[in-house]
C-alpha cells in the first residue's frame, strides 16, 4: 500500500517556534531542580527530543525507552511490551517523558503507570502533537505543542510503515 504526501500541516518554521516555546515553559518549571531526566519514547520522539533538549538551558540527562504494542493491528492495543528499558534507576528523580504524538493515549498510560511505580519524585509528559479526538483513556499531558485533527500524518519523527520520519516538517498523507 502506497501513501502520497498531500500537504504540509506544520512547517519547519512553525515547529521550531513551538519547540522554543515549549522549552521555555519547561525551563521555567524545572528551574529549581538540578536533576531533570528527559526520557524519549522511541522511535517517534527522537527528532522532537533532539531539537527540544537543545533549547532547554538547564542541566539534564537523557534516556530512552522503546516500546511496542502487541498485535499486528495499526491501532494501539494498550498492551505495551518494553523493548528497551531505562538504563538507570529513577527513584527520587524528576522525569519528563517526551512523545511525538498522543493518539489513544494507551502507550503513555501504560508507560506512566510503570514509571510511577518506580517512586519518581515527579513525572510529567511533553508531546509535540495531540489528537484529543482519538483518546481512549484519561491521560494528563503537561506540555502540548499542537492539538491536531484526526488526520493521517507523517514527518518530524512520525512514520508511515517506518518511512518519512526524516521529513523536516509534518505532512498529511492521502487516505
Ligand atoms: C506512535 C507514536 C506514539 C504512539 C501513540 O508510536 O509515536 O508513541 O504511537 O499512540 P497511542 O497514543 O495510541 O498509544 P509507534 O507505536 O507507532 O512507534 P514508533 O514511535 O516507533 O513509530
Ligand atoms: Mn512512538
Ligand atoms: Mg509508528
pLDDT of the chain, 175 residues: tens digit per residue: 577 999 999 999 999 999 999 999 999 999 999 899 999 999 999 999 999 999 999 999 999 999 987 655 556 666 788 999 999 999 999 999 999 999 999 999 999 999 999 999 999 999 999 999 999 999 999 999 999 999 999 999 999 999 999 999 999 999 8
Tell me whether 0.90 is exceeded by the ipTM.
Answer: yes
Q: Name the residue of 40, 44, 131 to mutate for ligand 1: max ligand atoms within 8 A of Cβ.
A: 44
User: Among residues 103, 121, 130, 142, which one is catalytic?
Assistant: 103
Q: Whose CA is nearest to atom 2 of ligand 1?
A: 101
Q: Which residues of 95-125 are buried (b: 16+ CB within 10 A; e: fewer)?
A: bbbbbbbbbbbbbbbbbbeebeeeebeebbb
Ligand 1 atom having least distance to the Cα of 107: 14
pLDDT at position 68 is 86
Please say if 130 is a catalytic residue.
no
Beta-bridge mates of residue 99: 127
For the chain, domains (ranges, CATH) are 5-173 (3.40.50.2020)
pLDDT, tens digit (0-9, with 9 covering 90-100), for 24-63: 999 999 999 989 999 999 999 999 999 999 999 999 999 9
Q: Which element (helix H / strand E) includes 46?
A: helix 46-53
Nearest ligand to residue 76 Cα = 1
Residue 92 CA to ligand 2 center (angstroms) comes to 26
Q: Whose CA is nearest to atom 16 of ligand 1?
A: 68
Amino acid at each position: 500500500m502506497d501513501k502520497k504526501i498531500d500537504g504540509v500541516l506544520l512547517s519547519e518554521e512553525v515547529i521550531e517556534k513551538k519547540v522554543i516555546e515549549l522549552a521555555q515553559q519547561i525551563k521555567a518549571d524545572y528551574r529549581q531542580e538540578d536533576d531533570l531526566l528527559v526520557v524519549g519514547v522511541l522511535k517517534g520522539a527522537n527528532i522532537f527530543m533532539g531539537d527540544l533538549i537543545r533549547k532547554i538551558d538547564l542541566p539534564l540527562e537523557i534516556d530512552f525507552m522503546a516500546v511496542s504494542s502487541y498485535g499486528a493491528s495499526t491501532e494501539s492495543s494498550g498492551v505495551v511490551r518494553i523493548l528497551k528499558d531505562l538504563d538507570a534507576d529513577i527513584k527520587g528523580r524528576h522525569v519528563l517523558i517526551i512523545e511525538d504524538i498522543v493518539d489513544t493515549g494507551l502507550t503513555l498510560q501504560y508507560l506512566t503507570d510503570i514509571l510511577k511505580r518506580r517512586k519518581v519524585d515527579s513525572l510529567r509528559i511533553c508531546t509535540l502533537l495531540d489528537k484529543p479526538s482519538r483518546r481512549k483513556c484519561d491521560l494528563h499531558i503537561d506540555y502540548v505543542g499542537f492539538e491536531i485533527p484526526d488526520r493521517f500524518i507523517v514527518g518530524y519523527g512520525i512514520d508511515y510503515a517506518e518511512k518519512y520520519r526524516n521529513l523536516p516538517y509534518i505532512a498529511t498523507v492521502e487516505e
